[in-house]
C-alpha cells in the first residue's frame, strides 16, 4: 500500500515541482506589487504548497518502506521550505501590529525547524562523522540554527527587525533555494550522474550551489529595497 501511495504522490509531486521551478522566476522580472507579479506569485505559492505537502507524505512513505535517508532528507526539506513559504505570503497580511495567530504559528514553525536542524547536525556528526552524506547533513542543519535566535525574540523586537517587504523577498527566495536544492538532490542528481557522467564525489556542489547563489541574491535584493 505504501509503495502504491508513494508512486501516486510522485506523479503529483514531480510536475508541480517542475512548474514551481519555472514560476519562481516569473515574478522576479516584474514590477513589485503589479497585478502580474501578484498573480504569478500566487501561482508559485500554491504550487509550492502542493510540492511541500506531497514531499512530507513521500517522506512518511519512505519511512514505512525503510528508505530512511530519503525519508530524512525529504522530511527536512519539507520543513525548511514550509516556514519561509508560509511567512513570505502571510507577512504581507500583517499591518503595523502582528496578529497573535501569526506570531504563535511562527513560533511553532521556528521550534520545529530549530529542532530539525539540531537533529540533522547530530545525525551527520554521530552517524557519519561529517563525512560524505554527513557533510551535507551538517551543512543543511546549520542553515536552520538562526531559527533558534528568532524563536526567542519578543514580538516587539521581531516586528522592529523584520520589515514586511524584506521578509516577503527573503521567504520567497529561501523557498526557491529549497526547491532547487531538492531538484539537485533527487531528480537532478540522476541527470548529472546518468547522462552527464558527473562524478559522485562532486554531487555536493549542486546540493550546496542553490543555497550559495540564493544567499547572494537575497542580500542583493535586501540592499536594493533597503529604504522600502
Q: What is the pLDDT of residue 189?
A: 55
- pLDDT tens column, 171-206: 998 898 888 887 877 665 555 555 445 555 555 666
The residue extents of the domains of the chain are: 2-224
Reported confidence tier of residue 113, pLDDT bands at 50, 70, 90 = very high
Cα–Cα distance for residue pair 149/120, rounded to 1 Å:
18
Q: For residues 143-168, give the mean pLDDT.
A: 88
Average pLDDT, the chain: 84
| Residue 82 scores a pLDDT above 60 | yes
- Yes or no: say if 121 and 143 are a contact pair by the CB < 8 Å rule: no
Widest Cα–Cα separation across the chain: 54
| Model-wide pTM > 0.75 | yes
Nearest to 165 by CA among 36, 19, 33: 33
Q: For residues 129-146, give the mean pLDDT.
A: 84
Amino acid at each position: 500500500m505504501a509503495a502504491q501511495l508513494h508512486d501516486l504522490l510522485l506523479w503529483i509531486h514531480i510536475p508541480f515541482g517542475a512548474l514551481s521551478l519555472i514560476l519562481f522566476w516569473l515574478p522576479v522580472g516584474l514590477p513589485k506589487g503589479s497585478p502580474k507579479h501578484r498573480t504569478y506569485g500566487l501561482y508559485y505559492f500554491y504550487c509550492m504548497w502542493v510540492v511541500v505537502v506531497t514531499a512530507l507524505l513521500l517522506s512518511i512513505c519512505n519511512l514505512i518502506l525503510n528508505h530512511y535517508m530519503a525519508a530524512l532528507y525529504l522530511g527536512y526539506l519539507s520543513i525548511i521550505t514550509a516556514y519561509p513559504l508560509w511567512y513570505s505570503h502571510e507577512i504581507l497580511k500583517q499591518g503595523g501590529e502582528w496578529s497573535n495567530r501569526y506570531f504563535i504559528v511562527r513560533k511553532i514553525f521556528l521550534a520545529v525547524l530549530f529542532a530539525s536542524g539540531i537533529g540533522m547536525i547530530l545525525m551527520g556528526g554521530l552517524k557519519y562523522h561529517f563525512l560524505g552524506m554527513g557533510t551535507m547533513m551538517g551543512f543543511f542543519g546549520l542553515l536552520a540554527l538562526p531559527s533558534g535566535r528568532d524563536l526567542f525574540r519578543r514580538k516587539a523586537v521581531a516586528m522592529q527587525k523584520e520589515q514586511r517587504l524584506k521578509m516577503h523577498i527573503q521567504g520567497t527566495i529561501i523557498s526557491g533555494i529549497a526547491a532547487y536544492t531538492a531538484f539537485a538532490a533527487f531528480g537532478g542528481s540522476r541527470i548529472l550522474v546518468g547522462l552527464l557522467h558527473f562524478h559522485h564525489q562532486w554531487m555536493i556542489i549542486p546540493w550546496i550551489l542553490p543555497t550559495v547563489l540564493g544567499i547572494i541574491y537575497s542580500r542583493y535584493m535586501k540592499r536594493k529595497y533597503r529604504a522600502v
